Structure 1
Amino acid sequence: MKKTLENKYFAVLIIFSFLVYIMSNGEWCIPIFAWIYPILFLCMIYLNRTRKVCLIISSIYAIGFIVQFWRAIGMDIKICIIVAILLSFLKVLPYIYWSKSKMRFQDTIIFASIMVSIEYIIYLVYPILGGLSDAYTQYHNLYLLQMVTVTGIYGITFLIYWTAAMVIWIWNNKSKKEYIRKYIIVYGSVVGLVFAYGVVMFHFAGNSDKSVRIAGVTVPISELLNNDEDVYSAFYTNTFTDENITNARSKLSSVAEELFLKTELEAQAGAKIVFWSELNGAVLKQDEDMLLQRASDMAKQEEIYLIVSLLVKTPYVDLKENKTVSFNPQGELISEYFKHGRSIGELCQKGDGILKSFDTEYGRIAPFICSDMAFLSKIQQAGRDNVDILIVPASDWKEMTLLAAKTAIVRGVENGSNIIRHTNNGMSIVSDFRGSVLAQTDYFQSDTKTLSAQVIAKGRFTLYSYIGNLFVYLCNLYLLGSFILPKIKRLIKK
């Protein structure tokens, strides 16, 4: 009877853990659950240290990933299942270690360090998947978020998993009050320092009153690119006719007319910098020069910085150009940037990923395009080059837009840059270098499809821009020392 009750309670724990994990990230994210589910997983191991429990945890990771992210990342369901299984094999490794460990204090640090290393490996394999880390769920916790100015997102990952391990460790040693006291003080001191640093960085570091009005404009282009027979044929097939080309040019010309009209209206409303969201300047190669000349004339006429986002298609050439072209108020071309971080199946030329920033009277500005924001090493250029404002034209779909917005906000904090991200089919945001969201608009609820806001014109220095993922390497060194040094000592004793 007792055994049956224990099995029932354990089954309830499994179901509860699964539900909490599903809501810890992805479409139904409740940020506090990102802290709770690792504790529940460790509770399962505390109650039953068998291989079966690790298999259950791995299964929860796999199934949960599909539920959380399938629609958000836009993968074919078969590919998503394969990715989920592979990730689950990686993410269960810290729990396997914990189940076999002696559950000492140092094992809590090893547990957290293993997860940090695994998340970094996932990022290296496919950076866009790295953007699904639990760390991004904490973007509203602005004091905690300042930690990324030193450690990047991996400091938050470490703290989440170290906290979980400490909860179980303290419970496991609750009868040894004198023994655990000094370690609780160590843990509490680290957490205290993190939040003290966060308070200082949020309230006192790099404040600026200078701002500039920036507008992001968009037109509903997705329907035309994906479902219009003429435009789709011209951009995505080699079986188009002369009539398709003629009709496509006419339809895209109408889109450009609307974009320039919106640009003019925003400039007359006081915007000093105007940019188009990703893909909006869809144009056939033969019409590109004419469109760029008009953009140059518009920038000069309205005395604005104009950043046009283009999707340029050359007939019979598979790879399109997804790029931004920037003009100063004199109408001079000052920057051309090609998208570097292409999504799966995106048939566009791969840019070199080198920052194309330019100085203005409103600070140093650099454009990055949509998923480029997932590439840590590329965005670090913004911090090192003292970029004050990152202009991010984007194109989303409804289910993924919040994930993309979180990534952009965190990238801005890491590198001390202010962010304005304007998108088709999603949530557009303006955030400052501290992570505070200053403005936002929903494409699906907006009549104008425009985001216009005062953006802080001065960024700030961050250590992370220069040291990069040093924290990850330190975690790896700690792991190496923890596993290798004891073996060396045993060999020396022999």
Structure 2
Amino acid sequence: MRSWLWLLAGTALLPFTLLQTTIPLASWVAPVLLLRFTRTTRARWALPALTVAIAASTAISFRGAMPVGQVAIMAVGAGVLGVVAYAVDGLLGRWLSGLPRTLVFPMADVAVAYLFSTGDMGTMGHPAGTQVGNLPLLQSVSVTGLWGLAFLLAWTASVGNELWERGFDLRAAGRSAVVWLCALTAVHLLGGARLAFDPPAGSTVRLAALAPNRAADEAAVAAGIRPGPRSAAERAELRRRYFAPTLDDMFARTVTAARSGAKIVVWAEAAAYDFVEEGAAVVERARAVARQEAVYLQIGVVYLLSGERSPNVEIRAIMIDPGGTVVWNYLKTSTPVGDGNVPGPGVVPTTDTPYGRLATVICFDANFMPLVRQAGQAGADILLLPSSDWEQVTDALAQQAVLRGVENGMSVIRSTRRGTSLAVDHQGRTIGYEASWFTGDPRTTDHTMTVTVPVQGRSTPYGQWVGEGVAWLCLAGLSSMGAVAAVRSLRRRAARGTAGAAAGGRPKLTPGVLERHPRQFGASHQKER
């Protein structure tokens, strides 16, 4: 009965490890309790119960973030996938002992998370994101990517259970606890050394991140403007009433930021809207402002297409240099639920400037590690990340953005509409934070974040050559342990068969055999008694 208390306690902590209102310590403790539950309860009961618990926790964490039906589908999928690592631990762990046994659960956990990350959601909501405030620990992702940090979280659960099963006797737990403790200590010491001895240094650049005026933005949303065929007169009226006021404000604030010393100005995702038929006018106006103010200007525009069905919008980030030249016209790669956007080719653009090498992706793109790694491989120093959130997900998306920056040695500037703007250096230190969209007066608040950013990033092992190697090592290690477990299982069966034949073909009746095969042996055993 006590094992069910571990399930309840772990389930209570799970929502704080995912999306909203995250608690960093919960990401370490919850897996310990849930693994204890599955190791002390029959699989026929433990796995279905844990599936329901994970699904319920996911639904709670994603509450209000999307329509109820989509939350339900996501919760069920999370429950089914989330229980896999626990099932693998139970399946393989019985054939292993000591240090190898403690590695099964973290390898399975990372393998499942990696396979999930190749889908539509990427790494969004992964519990590793809750650790971005622990800067020494965070530096580990510059070597291993998110996967090394994810491994440590899950390994702690496995080693914790190893200790628990031995009454927390460190001598009995032996090598497993020592190796885990040494690894965790080394990660913190090396991370602390990186922070202390290799901090950001050298030149800096002043940068302004602009989100649209909230009152004007909400007026356009309330008008229910949707893509679809319209006459030229209808388009002109909508542009005059809704699109032009936002554009005028954004360009005016761009000029103000430039004259206040900003050398780079980046708009939020969907800072401006226009119909694709007249879209060139926005770019021409931006080119004129960039030339006039001698700034690098990246505008964020949503172009409404004439089609009725999704995809029917283009979400673009357009960079213009001080000479008025369009450096890139990036089309958002990812296709989040509800955006209805045409997906881009998935090529991350970069450009060299006097203020370091710049790169960009858009919002949800930052949940996809291989995509952002293109910028790391190209040696980008600053990642411009225009975004457009909703309140329930803004913190989780910001956490993933910080991870991508540290992984690839880049400062990240997250200029956010309907969310929290954030700027961090290449080691994850917060250098800018702007949350006025939720707290300020929409009629008067200027949603501008101005920061001073290092112009030089760092080349990292993850960005240059490790990539997703840790995840692949976990997949390979799990396969090897599965093979070992299979061989040991076959040997044990063969040994039992030999012993049974020597005893006249009848297996020895032990309590374990009776428990597993009551129908086969129960009646005859009663007669013998």
TM-score, normalised via structure 1 length: 0.91
- 1:471 alignment partner in structure 2: 470
* Aligned partner letter, 1:107: R
- Residues 310-340 of structure 1: CA deviation (Å, up to 9, x unaligned): 1122434753221111111111221111110
- 1:126 alignment partner in structure 2: 120
Moved more, 366-375 or 14-23: 14-23
Q: Does 1:227 align with 2:222?
A: yes
State the distance in 2 between where 1:177 and 1:254 align.
Answer: 67
Aligned length: 479
SS in 2 for 1:398: coil
- Offset, 1:42: 2.2
Q: Does 1:462 align with 2:456?
A: no
State the distance in 2 between where 1:153 and 1:326 align.
Answer: 29
State the distance in 1 between where 2:188 and 2:250 align.
Answer: 45
Q: 1:124 to 1:286 in 2, by over 3 A?
A: closer
- Offset, 1:202: 2.1
Moved more, 24-33 or 379-388: 24-33
Q: 1:204 to 1:33 in 2, by over 3 A?
A: same
Q: 1:163 to 1:332 in 2, by over 3 A?
A: same
Q: 1:172 to 1:11 in 2, by over 3 A?
A: closer
Q: Does 1:270 align with 2:265?
A: no
State the distance in 2 between where 1:134 and 1:201 align.
Answer: 23
- 2:33 alignment partner in structure 1: 40
Is 1:389–1:418's contact at 8 Å kept on the other side of the alignment?
yes
- Offset, 1:127: 3.4
Moved more, 25-34 or 89-98: 89-98
State the distance in 2 between where 1:195 and 1:289 align.
Answer: 51
State the distance in 1 between where 2:374 and 2:194 align.
Answer: 21
State the distance in 2 between where 1:285 and 1:25 align.
Answer: 37
- Offset, 1:307: 0.8
- Offset, 1:410: 0.7
Q: What runs of 5+ residues in structure 1 fail to find an aligned partner? A: 1-6
Q: 1:243 to 1:331 in 2, by over 3 A?
A: closer
**Residue pairs, 1:63-462, within 5 angstroms:** 63-72=56-65, 74=66, 76-100=67-91, 101-102=93-94, 104-105=97-98, 106-128=100-122, 130-174=123-167, 178-205=171-198, 207-219=200-212, 220=214, 222-228=217-223, 232=225, 235-238=226-229, 240=230, 243-251=233-241, 252-316=243-307, 319-442=312-435, 443-446=437-440, 447-462=445-460
- Residues 421-464 of structure 1: CA deviation (Å, up to 9, x unaligned): 01111110000111111110112224101111111111101111
State the distance in 1 between where 2:391 and 2:485 align.
Answer: 51
* Aligned partner letter, 1:409: V
Is 1:303–1:329's contact at 8 Å kept on the other side of the alignment?
yes
Is 2:227–2:306's contact at 8 Å kept on the other side of the alignment?
no
- Offset, 1:171: 2.2
Is 1:25–1:31's contact at 8 Å kept on the other side of the alignment?
no
Q: 1:10 to 1:115 in 2, by over 3 A?
A: closer
State the distance in 2 between where 1:175 and 1:32 align.
Answer: 20
- 1:20 alignment partner in structure 2: 13
- 1:4 alignment partner in structure 2: none
Q: 1:155 to 1:291 in 2, by over 3 A?
A: same
Moved more, 255-264 or 277-286: 277-286
* Aligned partner letter, 1:250: R
* Aligned partner letter, 2:462: Y
* Aligned partner letter, 2:135: L
- Residues 213-253 of structure 1: CA deviation (Å, up to 9, x unaligned): 11111223542443215xx1xx4233x45553221121212
Is 1:218–1:424's contact at 8 Å kept on the other side of the alignment?
yes
Give the structure with higher Rg (CA). Answer: 2
SS in 2 for 1:236: coil
State the distance in 2 between where 1:115 and 1:270 align.
Answer: 47
- Residues 342-388 of structure 1: CA deviation (Å, up to 9, x unaligned): 21232222111112111110000112111111111110011111100
Is 2:258–2:293's contact at 8 Å kept on the other side of the alignment?
yes
Q: What runs of 5+ residues in structure 2 fail to find an aligned partner? A: 495-529
Q: 1:259 to 1:188 in 2, by over 3 A?
A: same
Is 2:228–2:305's contact at 8 Å kept on the other side of the alignment?
no
Moved more, 423-432 or 436-445: 436-445
- Offset, 1:43: 2.4
State the distance in 1 between where 2:3 and 2:107 align.
Answer: 28
Is 2:408–2:459's contact at 8 Å kept on the other side of the alignment?
yes
SS in 1 for 2:357: strand
State the distance in 2 between where 1:350 and 1:176 align.
Answer: 55
Moved more, 410-419 or 316-325: 316-325
Is 1:104–1:169's contact at 8 Å kept on the other side of the alignment?
no
SS in 1 for 2:317: strand
State the distance in 2 between where 1:312 and 1:23 align.
Answer: 37
SS in 1 for 2:125: coil
State the distance in 2 between where 1:351 and 1:211 align.
Answer: 32
Is 2:227–2:308's contact at 8 Å kept on the other side of the alignment?
no
State the distance in 2 between where 1:214 and 1:413 align.
Answer: 19
State the distance in 2 between where 1:257 and 1:178 align.
Answer: 70
Q: 1:227 to 1:327 in 2, by over 3 A?
A: same
Is 2:381–2:456's contact at 8 Å kept on the other side of the alignment?
yes
Is 1:307–1:325's contact at 8 Å kept on the other side of the alignment?
yes
State the distance in 2 between where 1:114 and 1:432 align.
Answer: 32
Q: Does 1:484 align with 2:483?
A: yes
* Aligned partner letter, 2:218: E
State the distance in 1 between where 2:145 and 2:387 align.
Answer: 23
Is 1:311–1:321's contact at 8 Å kept on the other side of the alignment?
yes
Moved more, 110-119 or 25-34: 25-34
SS in 1 for 2:187: helix
State the distance in 2 between where 1:67 and 1:175 align.
Answer: 33
Moved more, 404-413 or 346-355: 346-355
- 2:516 alignment partner in structure 1: none
User: Aligned residues: percent identity?
Assistant: 25
